[in-house]
């Protein structure tokens, strides 16, 4: 009776091990017999993922709607901002969504002219409408971007997407986000940027520009020699 009792646990152990080996053998056989079908499924999954990535990032950016009532949808919009009977800035855009409640406006394909405060030395305006009206003003800054958000209560414009700034000294700045605060008369770039000026390229992690004084503070500047400038020397 003692030897019979000892055989039963060992027998159960070998039966269980045999079943596990059989399951492993069955799974391996399944993979071997269906390797072509599995390869096709993996390929289709990879193609589907690549297609989703391509189309999700290649679609043109569209204006983000307001999540509130009382919204106006306008096209070919022009905004003029005045302070003490002097034009502070002018903005044009292809399309705009205006929220009457929050006094905000989202605009597609934005272009802004920021006028200098000191009008004693008038330059040729980059805004042709000013010249046509025989009231030229010195344009200190011209900004273009894919989208803009005007907050009328704070008199602030936030620009995003392919932001390009052109100063009156000929320098250009390229970045993805810029904030123009008309009350403080400052332009802030909180993200990395690239500046081209007089044949040189500079990179920075951010920028603060005081429009009234012309003072520019470039954060973490890195100066690089432009190829064209090196060839002309």
State the pLDDT at residue 14: 41
pLDDT at 126 over 80: no
Q: What is the mean pLDDT of the segment spanning 2-12?
A: 47
Q: How far from chain centre, in Å, is Cα 128?
A: 29
H helices of 95-226, in order, are 128-132
10 is in which domain, residue-wise?
A: 2-58
State the pLDDT at residue 51: 53
Same domain, yes or no: 150 and 179 = yes
Structure tokens at 156: 């602030």
pLDDT at 123 over 50: no
Name the pairing type of β-strands 86-99 and 71-83.
antiparallel
CA-nearest of 91, 228, 103 to 159 is: 91
Same domain, yes or no: 39 and 122 = no
Same domain, yes or no: 125 and 158 = yes
Condensed to tens digits (0 to 9), the pLDDT of residues 15-38 reads 454 444 454 455 566 556 666 666
Answer yes or no: is 218 within a domain.
yes
Q: What is the mean pLDDT of the segment spanning 61-66?
A: 55
State the pLDDT at residue 85: 76
State the pLDDT at residue 104: 87
Same domain, yes or no: 75 and 47 = no
Same domain, yes or no: 80 and 35 = no
Condensed to tens digits (0 to 9), the pLDDT of residues 138-181 reads 889 999 999 999 998 888 999 999 999 999 889 999 999 999 99
Same domain, yes or no: 95 and 164 = yes
């Amino acid at each position: 009776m003692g030897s019979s009792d000892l055989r039963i646990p060992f027998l159960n152990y070998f039966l269980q091990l045999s079943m596990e080996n059989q399951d492993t053998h069955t799974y391996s056989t399944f993979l071997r017999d269906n390797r072509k079908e599995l390869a096709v499924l993996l390929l289709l999954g990879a193609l589907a993922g690549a297609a989703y990535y391509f189309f999700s990032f290649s679609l043109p950016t569209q204006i983000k709607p307001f999540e509130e009532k009382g919204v106006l949808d306008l096209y070919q919009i022009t905004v003029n901002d005045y302070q003490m009977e002097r034009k502070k800035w002018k903005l044009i855009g292809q399309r705009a969504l205006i929220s009457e409640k929050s006094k905000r406006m989202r605009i597609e394909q934005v272009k802004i002219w920021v006028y200098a405060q000191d009008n004693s030395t008038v330059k040729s305006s980059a805004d042709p409408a000013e010249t046509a009206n025989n009231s030229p003003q010195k344009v200190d800054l011209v900004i273009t971007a894919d989208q803009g958000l005007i907050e009328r209560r704070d008199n602030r414009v936030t620009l995003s997407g392919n932001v390009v700034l052109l100063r009156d000294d000929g320098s250009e700045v390229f970045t993805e986000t810029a904030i123009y605060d008309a009350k403080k008369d400052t332009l802030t770039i909180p993200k990395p940027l690239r500046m081209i000026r007089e044949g040189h390229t500079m990179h920075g992690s951010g920028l603060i520009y005081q429009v009234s004084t012309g003072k520019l503070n470039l954060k973490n500047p890195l100066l690089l020699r432009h190829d064209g400038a090196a060839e002309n020397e």
